[in-house]
Amino acid sequence: MGFVIAVDGPAASGKGTLSKRIAAHYGFAHLDTGLLYRAVARLLLDKNRPLDDEKAAQAAAFALELAYMDESRLRGAEMGEAASRVSIIPAVRAALLDRQREFAAQAPGAVLDGRDIGTVICPDADVKLFVTASAEERARRRHRELESRGAAPAYESVLADIRARDARDAGRSSAPLRQAEDAVLLDTTTLGIEEALAAALAVVDKVRGASSLP
């Protein structure tokens, strides 16, 4: 089994960008587990099935092909909201559990980001990071991202969506969003990506260095 880095945090905290940079730095595989739930939601929407149809959602999760997810169809506020609704279904989370763990087991290492990586998917991860930022800053980031894609939602609407997703993620019965007891908190409210990356790499290097000692 390789070196596993678990990166958790709420929406728009910067964990996805940070995780990609960490994986590239060490030559590890990277999985944005949020895309799995977006893909399940996309399959349901394509088949005109309700997002709260538990049996259909579970079937979609089992049928999901990780290698063939079309990321261009999974981004955007609409799919983020849909994924948040699908992710509260315990049967969907259970269906995707082993597949995420199999991904994490590959050598030389893997970086997985999501909301329950350090607490449920990889509780024995070598490094756990909990990346967060204020709701207002996360809303500003998401607003800029949506504007760059040609969408122009009101900032207040984006902020309301961020807060609603936070409440839904933290309040779900199955694998709620929370910081693992042994995770290192990384607040990126006032940090740029390079500063956040440097802080994260320092944490990982410390663990990697310690593990190599006799």
Residue 79 falls inside a structural domain: yes
% of the chain at pLDDT higher than 90: 68
16 known ligand binder: yes
Q: Known binder of ligand: residue 128?
A: no
In a domain, 214, yes or no: no
Confirm or deny that 10 is annotated as ligand binding. yes
Name the amino acid, one letter, at 186: L
* Stated pTM of the model: 0.87
**What's the total number of domains in the chain?**
1
Q: What is the CATH number of the domain that holds 193?
A: 3.40.50.300
Q: What is the mean pLDDT of the chain?
A: 91
- 12 is known to lie in a ligand binding site: yes
14 is in an annotated binding site: yes
Separation between Cα atoms, residue 96 and residue 60, nearest integer Å? 10
Residue 67 assigned to a binding site: no
Q: Is 33 annotated as a binding residue?
A: no
Phi, psi of 2 (to 5 degrees): -85, -175
pLDDT digits (tens, 9 = 90+) for 83-132: 988 988 999 999 999 889 999 999 999 999 999 999 999 999 999 999 99
Indicate whether 81 pLDDT > 90. Answer: no
Q: Is residue 189 part of a domain?
A: yes
Residue 42 lies in a domain: yes
> Cα dist. 108→3, 5, 29, 105 in Å?
6, 12, 8, 9
Domain-embedded: residue 67: yes
Mean local confidence (pLDDT), 9-20: 93
Residue 154 lies in a domain: yes
pLDDT of residue 140: 94
Domain range for residue 130?
3-209
Q: Does residue 161 belong to any structural domain of this protein?
A: yes
Q: Is 153 labelled as part of a ligand binding site? A: no
Q: Is residue 159 part of a domain?
A: yes
